[in-house]
């Protein structure tokens, strides 16, 4: 999954370091699990209990699909019956509108025509679909908030139907929900990190059609197939909440991998569509990005310049109190929340008996950049800091 600060690419080095320090521990916490790339790696490659946390529930939904499941399964039957149930719902809605809900023509290229289709789709999702939804009951948050924006009406409808019809068997339900998060992420008609949808302008209109013609069923199916092939060696746990809640579950000698935010913009501003599908609850969209209201979006003290240093210190305090080893990744310099790797190192030296650092070249997202002053991605050095009690 495309995710800001995703550590998947660093795993060849970071993974070795984590495996080395995991040796003496019973549990490993990943309290800022994000895309869950590191949690999955640890679950698949160690015989430790992995505890994955994040303030965003979609991140934990992804982690749970693997860390809480120790058995592989053949996905075909699950996909078939899940899709059959969802398709009944889709047909119930589509039956009312044989014309409006036909697929978007992939060969639509003229910006003017695209704009017309987009305008009609928005109106349709805003004014017409909710009448049918009212009769059917159930939650339709993707169609109501994002239909005609990030997703075509048909894509949105399929995502909502799949969300309502998740399998009931616990493990399969976890995989299905995580797969849906992946599918919603891959289908979004948005530049960069899903903060705002493409608008039907002369230059961007073509990207809307390209995204709207992605097949929601196939995206979900591919994601289930990929995840069903993964399982934890030991059953772990996913926790939605602040990092303190995850670290509280550790004992002396356990290991923490911490990858806290480095940006001064909250993650929840960018990933609200994923959070919406994970929660499955309708809301009143706001602004160009069609976000939930600010009170409804998880906010992080690491993403406010005034509180970031204090949050960093508390993270180090919590790990030190648990006598846990901490492996922390952070951009060496230039993070927009005002911190740098050295801030962690200096405070950490007052709490841990050994602190050492490795640097790897990486590139990190600046949350879209602003074209004039910064590129969307910058090459930087990422520090891997080891704090040993
Ligand atoms: C740099 S990302 C983690 C990326 C992850 N390691 C990966 O490989 O995808 C930071 C994550 O911290 C989460 N977060 C922010 N503040 C938090 C807090 N106080 N407690 C727990 N998670 C938090 C964000 O939602 C975000 O997913």
* pLDDT at residue number 272: 95
* pLDDT at residue number 358: 87
Nearest-CA residue for atom 15 of ligand 1: 300
Q: Which residue is associated with the tokens 């302008």?
A: 201
Nearest-CA residue for atom 5 of ligand 1: 34
What is the distance in A from the centroid of ligand 1 to the CA of 261? 6
- Write out the two tokens for 228: 């069903």
- Write out the two tokens for 308: 């970031």
Rounded CA gap, 34 and 59, in Å?
5
**Best of 15, 260, 329 to mutate for ligand 1, by most ligand atoms within 8 A of CB?**
260
* pLDDT at residue number 366: 46
Nearest-CA residue for atom 12 of ligand 1: 32
Q: What percent of the chain has pLDDT over 90?
A: 83
Q: Is the pLDDT at 128 greater than 60, yes or no?
A: yes
Report the Cα 132 to chain-centroid distance in Å: 30
Q: What percent of the chain has pLDDT over 70?
A: 93
Measured from the CB, is residue 7 less than 6 Å from ligand 1? yes
Q: Check: CB of residue 37 under 8 Å from CB of residue 52.
A: no
What is the distance in A from the centroid of ligand 1 to the CA of 11? 17
Q: Is the pLDDT at 219 greater than 90, yes or no?
A: yes
Q: Is the pLDDT at 152 greater than 50, yes or no?
A: yes
Q: Where in the chain is the domain with CATH 3.40.50.150?
A: 8-71+230-264+304-388
- Write out the two tokens for 79: 């996909």
- pLDDT tens, residue by residue, 4-27: 888 998 999 999 999 999 998 999
- pLDDT tens, residue by residue, 25-69: 999 999 999 999 999 999 999 999 999 999 999 999 999 999 999
Measured from the CB, is residue 5 less than 6 Å from ligand 1? yes
β-strand partners of 384: 329, 358
Measured from the CB, is residue 331 less than 6 Å from ligand 1? no
Nearest-CA residue for atom 4 of ligand 1: 34
Measured from the CB, is residue 79 less than 6 Å from ligand 1? no
Q: Which residue is associated with the tokens 């990486």?
A: 362
Measured from the CB, is residue 382 less than 6 Å from ligand 1? no
β-strand partners of 238: 52
Rounded CA gap, 34 and 19, in Å?
20
Q: Which atom of ligand 1 is nearest to the CA of 59?
A: 27
Which segments of the chain does DSSP mark as H helices, in order?
Answer: 11-22, 37-45, 57-67, 76-94, 111-123, 129-136, 141-146, 153-164, 170-187, 205-212, 216-228, 243-247, 272-279, 305-321, 341-349
For the residues of 6-30, what is the DSSP string, one character each?
Answer: --GGGHHHHHHHHHHHHTT-SEEEE
Measured from the CB, is residue 182 less than 6 Å from ligand 1? no
What is the distance in A from the centroid of ligand 1 to the CA of 259? 6
Average pLDDT over residues 172-196: 93
Rounded CA gap, 162 and 298, in Å?
24
What is the distance in A from the centroid of ligand 1 to the CA of 306? 18
Measured from the CB, is residue 335 less than 6 Å from ligand 1? no
Fold of 8-71+230-264+304-388: Rossmann fold (3.40.50)
Rounded CA gap, 261 and 278, in Å?
21
* pLDDT at residue number 369: 41
Tell me the C-alpha to C-alpha distance, in Å, between residue 16 and each of 11, 315, 345: 8, 23, 21
**Best of 3, 13, 32, 181 to mutate for ligand 1, by most ligand atoms within 8 A of CB?**
32
* pLDDT at residue number 378: 55
Rounded CA gap, 340 and 267, in Å?
19
H helices, E strands: number in the chain: 15, 7
What's the maximum distance between 2 C-alpha atoms anywhere in the chain?
69
Own/partner contacts of 299-303, CB < 8 Å, gap of 24 or more, are: 299/266, 299/268, 300/55, 300/261, 300/266, 300/267, 302/260, 302/261, 302/262, 302/337, 303/261, 303/263, 303/264, 303/265, 303/266, 303/267, 303/337
* pLDDT at residue number 377: 53
Tell me the C-alpha to C-alpha distance, in Å, between residue 280 and each of 43, 198, 272, 287, 356: 27, 23, 12, 20, 43
- pLDDT tens, residue by residue, 262-318: 999 888 888 999 999 999 999 999 999 999 998 999 999 999 999 999 999 999 999
Which of 200-204, 265-269, 326-330, 370-374 ranks highest by mean pLDDT? 326-330
Q: Which atom of ligand 1 is nearest to the CA of 37?
A: 8
For residue 360, count CB atoms less than 10 angstroms from its CB and return exposed for 0-12, middle for 13-18, buried for 19 or more.
middle
* pLDDT at residue number 381: 87
Measured from the CB, is residue 3 less than 6 Å from ligand 1? yes
Q: Which atom of ligand 1 is nearest to the CA of 5?
A: 1
Q: Is the pLDDT at 363 greater than 70, yes or no?
A: no
What is the distance in A from the centroid of ligand 1 to the CA of 314? 15
């Amino acid at each position: 999954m495309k995710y800001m600060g995703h550590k998947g690419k660093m795993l060849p080095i970071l993974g070795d370091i984590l495996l080395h320090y995991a040796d003496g521990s019973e549990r490993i916490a990943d309290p800022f699990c994000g895309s869950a790339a590191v949690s999955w790696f640890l679950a698949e490659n160690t015989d430790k209990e992995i505890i994955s946390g994040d303030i965003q529930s979609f991140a934990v939904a992804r982690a749970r699909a693997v860390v809480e499941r120790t058995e592989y399964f053949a996905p075909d039957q699950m996909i078939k019956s899940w899709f059959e149930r969802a398709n009944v719902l889709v047909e119930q809605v589509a039956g009312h509108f044989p014309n409006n809900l036909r697929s978007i023509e992939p060969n639509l290229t003229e910006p003017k025509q695209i704009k017309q289709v987009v305008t009609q789709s928005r109106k349709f999702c805003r004014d017409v679909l909710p009448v049918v939804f009212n009769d059917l009951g159930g939650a339709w948050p993707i169609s109501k908030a994002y239909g005609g924006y990030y997703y075509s009406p048909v894509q949105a409808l399929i995502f909502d139907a799949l969300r309502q019809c998740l399998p009931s068997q616990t493990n399969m339900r976890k995989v299905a929900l995580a797969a849906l998060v992946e599918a919603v992420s891959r289908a979004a008609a948005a530049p960069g990190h899903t903060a705002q949808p493409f608008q039907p302008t002369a230059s961007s209109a073509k990207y809307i059609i390209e995204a709207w013609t992605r097949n929601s069923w196939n995206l979900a199916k591919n994601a289930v197939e990929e995840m069903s092939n993964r399982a934890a060696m030991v059953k772990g746990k996913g926790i939605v909440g602040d990092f303190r809640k995850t670290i509280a579950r550790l004992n002396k000698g356990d290991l923490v991998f911490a990858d806290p935010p480095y940006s001064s913009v909250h993650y929840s501003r960018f990933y609200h569509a994923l959070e919406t599908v994970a929660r499955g609850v309708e809301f009143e969209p706001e602004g160009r990005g069609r976000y939930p209201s600010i009170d409804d979006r998880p906010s992080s003290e690491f993403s406010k310049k005034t509180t970031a240093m204090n949050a960093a210190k508390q993270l180090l305090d919590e790990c030190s109190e648990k006598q846990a080893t901490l492996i922390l990744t952070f951009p060496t310099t230039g993070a927009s929340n005002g911190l740098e790797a050295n801030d962690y190192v200096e405070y950490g030296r007052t709490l841990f008996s050994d602190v050492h650092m490795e640097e790897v070249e990486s590139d990190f997202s600046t949350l879209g950049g602003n074209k004039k002053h910064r590129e969307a991605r910058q090459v930087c050095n990422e520090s891997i800091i080891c704090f040993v009690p």
